[in-house]
């Protein structure tokens, strides 16, 4: 059997184990509520949104519903992967894994792909379901190109959070620290980022009182490149008309590539020097 | 004991990195205790007992030999050819101390997973289960296994891919005497098939009748390596005999014996004497002594250590309490 095939089998087994784990069963209703549930809500023809925003097409509705990915999808990725390494460290299995001849970078890919696939698969299915729900409820169908971009962007943001969680798990000596690291990071990017952005904008003399102010939007857009959720939204915005936040589509793609490569590199580096 | 060397470790060293936060660098680390300049030759089919007190560096050394920790100094070689870490890992099977296998996964799934990691066939993984006596429990979940079964599973995983060297870290911990006996017999049969075994313990008695040689580790350094007899002789150890008699040995006879220990109770008289009195047993029988015990007393770990290090029992005890793998000689100057 080739090394690639062995990696695939290992990742498949890990993904399957995580997919049917108790925690996934607990998270599934939350994912259902946040992903297709939000799509259903935003697809309501009589919806009343702040600032009189009315989604004009299915892509815009999906954009609004992407908050479900930001809140529930990324949280689920963190909860799935937060003990990917620390659990084995606590039980002593990590020592056995590290003594195996399969190179650690290959083991790292197995860990990432296994954990990521277990959350990516249900989220992808729920996203597709959301698209059908929007079409059914509002009679607006998302173009195939937009659908592909939305799914890929969601998969990427889940991958980033999975790698963060695994990285935290590799640093933490026990489960408590691992979950504190992972949830802390999720909390920072998901909830505290607005505060951070506003604070920095105010320090830079940007009018933070008016969130529709172009100066603020551009400042926020650029700062969002430093956040995985921000880059995710930039990727989604490449499919929307009339969005000007100071970041081009190319800039968003480059940021996405960087957010993929850098954490992966850091994780692989960490794995190479990992001691039980 | 085989003459062919399975693997040779030359002057290997590793030092743990210890967190040493400073206000200007909270992540600062410094080099701490570790293993220093260990030379170890592992002959094919030999069982080596790695003995040392707590904190001597046994686990660190075993992890280095298994390729878990890098060889910061020195090298591993086979037939004069230097081994890279991945080659080392493929030749060594490692069983850590007390793995808490727990999940809904079955033994079959676990073995399959490690067969993929090891790069061996699934059939060979199942064959290994027969060797360690878990074949009948192949579809049981890990959660349902007893501690002894878990130890067997760990050994099974270590045996995957037919390693040339088996490294076992305190394998008898948590096992009952029956399981220990069965485990020892299994190890003996593996050694007879040419697998070299390196087994660590802080109890010499556990290794009785199992190991061919003993490697004595203290404060991260290998003090001595050889058979028990050669160690005793090289360390200048006097062999001791324990005898328990029904009455006191008369002075005329005891004067010629070097009595190291004497305990007198109401029913028996226990002596520990230096060995080497060929006519003593005959003499005692002739004088109608009732001899309830006559045995050669093996040296304890602490006695071997005292002898090897030249330190007394109290100083060694303090060392153990401080659990210091700090090398006896400095490695490359400064700590940081």
For the segment B284-301, what is each residue's pLDDT rounded down to a tens digit?
A: 898 889 998 888 877 777
Q: Which residue in B has a C-alpha nearest to residue A11's C-alpha?
A: B113
Where does the pLDDT of residue A70 fall: very low under 50, low under 70, confident under 90, or very high at 90 and above?
very high
Query: Hey, is the C-beta of A53 within 8 angstroms of any chain B C-beta?
Result: no
pTM: 0.84
Under the banding of pLDDT at 50, 70 and 90, the label for residue B325 is low
Distance between first and last Cα of chain B: 42
Residue A272 is predicted with a pLDDT of 92
A95 contacts chain B (CB < 8 A): yes
**Shortest alpha-carbon distance between residue B36 and chain A (Å):** 18
Number of CB atoms found within 10 A of residue B130's CB: 12
B119/A3 touch (CB, cutoff 8 Å), yes or no: yes
Residue of B nearest to A7 (CA): B116
Cβ atoms of B198 and B48 within 8 Å: the answer is yes
Nearest chain A residue to B97, by CA: A92
Most confident of A32-41, B275-284, B318-327: A32-41
Classify each residue of A17-35 as buried b or exposed e, where b means 16 or more C-beta atoms within 10 Å of its C-beta: bbbeeeebeebeebbeebb
Percent with pLDDT over 90 in chain B? 40
Tell whether ipTM is more than 0.90.
no
Domains of chain B: 5-19+32-234 (3.40.50.300), 240-297 (3.30.70)
Report yes or no: B42 and B1 within 8 Å, Cβ to Cβ: no
Alpha carbons B101 and B145: distance in angstroms, whole number: 8
The verdict on a CB contact (< 8 Å) between A101 and B86 is: yes
Domains: count for chain A: 1
> Are residues B118 and A96, on separate chains, in Cβ contact within 8 Å?
no
Which B residues in the span 103-132 are in contact with A, Cβ-Cβ below 8 Å? 103, 105, 109, 112-114, 116-119
Q: How far apart are the first and last CA of chain A?
A: 29
d(CA B117, CA B112) in angstroms, rounded, equals 9
* Chain A environment of B94 (Cβ under 8 Å): 95-96, 99
Over residues B65-89, mean pLDDT = 93
CA distance B96 to chain A (A): 7
Nearest-CA distance B86 → chain A (Å): 5
Q: Dig out the tokens for A228 from the structure.
A: 């995985």
Closest alpha carbon within chain B to A8: B116
Chain A segment 256-275 residues within 8 A of B by beta carbon are 275
Q: Are A228 and A201 in contact (CB under 8 A)?
A: no
Q: Report the C-alpha gap between A74 and A159 in whole angstroms.
A: 9
Give tens-digit pLDDT for A24-40: 999 999 999 999 999 99
> What tokens were used for B262?
């004497």
Q: Which of A208-217, A251-260, B203-212, B243-252 has the highest mean pLDDT?
A: A251-260
Long-range contacts formed by A222-227: CB under 8 A, 24+ apart: A222/A246, A222/A247, A223/A196, A223/A197, A224/A193, A224/A197, A225/A251, A225/A252, A225/A255, A227/A189, A227/A193
Query: From CA B39, how far away is CA B74, in angstroms rounded?
Result: 9
Instruction: Supply the range of the domain harboring residue A220.
Output: 3-272
Side-chain-facing half-sphere of B152: CA atoms under 13 Å: 26
The backbone torsions φ and ψ at residue B94, rounded to the nearest 5 degrees and listed phi first, read: -115, 130
pLDDT in the model for residue B77? 95
pLDDT given for residue B178 in this prediction? 84
Q: For residue B163, what are its two tokens? A: 């390693």
CB atoms within 10 A of CB A45: 10
Q: How far apart are CA B291 and CA B167, in angstroms?
A: 42
Give CA A246 to chain center in angstroms. Answer: 22
> Considering only CA atoms, which of A262, A234, A264 is closest in space to residue A250?
A234
Amino acid B321: pLDDT: 47
């Amino acid at each position: 059997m080739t090394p690639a095939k062995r990696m695939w089998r290992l990742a498949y087994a890990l993904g399957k184990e995580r997919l049917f784990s108790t925690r996934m069963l607990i998270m599934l209703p939350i994912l259902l509520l946040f992903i297709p549930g939000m799509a259903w809500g935003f697809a309501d023809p009589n919806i009343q949104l702040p600032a009189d925003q009315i989604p004009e097409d299915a892509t815009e509705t999906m954009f609004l519903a992407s908050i479900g990915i930001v809140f529930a999808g990324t949280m689920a990725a963190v909860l799935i992967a937060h003990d990917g390494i620390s659990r084995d460290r606590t039980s002593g299995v990590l020592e056995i894994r590290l003594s195996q001849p399969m190179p650690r970078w290959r083991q790292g890919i197995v860990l990432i792909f296994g954990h990521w696939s277990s959350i990516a698969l249900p989220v992808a299915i729920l996203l597709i379901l959301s698209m059908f729900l929007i079409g059914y409820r509002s009679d607006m169908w998302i173009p195939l190109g937009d659908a592909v971009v939305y799914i890929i962007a969601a998969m990427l943001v889940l991958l980033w959070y999975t790698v963060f969680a695994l990285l935290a798990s590799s640093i933490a000596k026990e489960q408590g620290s691992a979950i504190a690291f992972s949830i802390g990071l999720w909390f920072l990017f998901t909830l505290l980022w607005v505060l951070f952005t506003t604070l920095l904008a105010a320090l830079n003399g940007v009018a933070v009182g008016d969130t529709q102010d172009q100066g603020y939007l551009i400042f926020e857009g650029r700062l969002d490149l430093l956040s995985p959720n921000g880059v995710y939204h930039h990727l989604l915005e490449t499919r929307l008309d009339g969005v000007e936040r100071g970041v081009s589509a190319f800039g968003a793609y480059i940021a996405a590539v960087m957010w993929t490569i850098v954490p992966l590199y850091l994780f692989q580096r960490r794995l190479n020097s990992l001691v039980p | 004991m085989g003459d062919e060397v399975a693997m040779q470790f030359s002057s290997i060293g590793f030092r743990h990195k210890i967190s040493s936060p400073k206000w200007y660098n909270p992540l600062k680390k410094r080099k701490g205790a570790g293993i220093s300049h260990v030379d170890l030759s592992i002959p094919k089919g030999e069982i080596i007992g790695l003995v040392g007190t707590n904190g001597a560096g046994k686990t660190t050394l075993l992890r280095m030999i298994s390729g878990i920790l890098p060889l910061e100094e020195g090298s591993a070689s086979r037939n004069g050819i230097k081994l890279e870490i991945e080659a080392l890992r493929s030749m060594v099977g490692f069983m850590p101390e007390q793995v808490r296998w727990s999940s809904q996964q079955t033994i079959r799934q676990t073995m399959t997973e490690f067969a993929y990691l090891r790069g061996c066939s699934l059939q060979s993984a199942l064959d290994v289960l027969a060797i360690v006596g878990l074949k009948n429990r192949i579809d049981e979940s890990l959660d349902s296994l007893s501690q002894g079964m878990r130890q067997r599973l760990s050994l099974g995983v270590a045996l995957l891919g037919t390693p040339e060297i088996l490294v076992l870290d305190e394998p008898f911990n948590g096992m009952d005497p029956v399981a220990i006996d069965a485990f020892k017999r299994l190890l003996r049969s593996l050694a007879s098939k040419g697998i070299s075994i390196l087994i660590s313990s802080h109890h010499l008695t556990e290794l009785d009748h199992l190991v061919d040689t003993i490697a004595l580790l203290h404060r991260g350094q290998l003090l001595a390596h050889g058979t028990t007899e050669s160690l005793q002789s090289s360390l200048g150890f006097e062999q001791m005999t324990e005898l328990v008699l029904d009455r006191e040995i008369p002075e005329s006879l005891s004067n010629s014996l070097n009595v190291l220990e004497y305990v007198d109770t109401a029913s028996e008289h226990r002596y520990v004497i230096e060995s080497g009195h060929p006519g003593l047993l005959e003499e005692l029988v002739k004088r109608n002594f009732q001899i309830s015990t006559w045995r050669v007393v093996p040296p304890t770990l602490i006695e071997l250590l005292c002898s090897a290090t030249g330190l007394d029992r109290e100083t060694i005890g303090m060392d153990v309490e401080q659990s210091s793998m700090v090398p006896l000689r400095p490695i490359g100057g400064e700590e940081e």
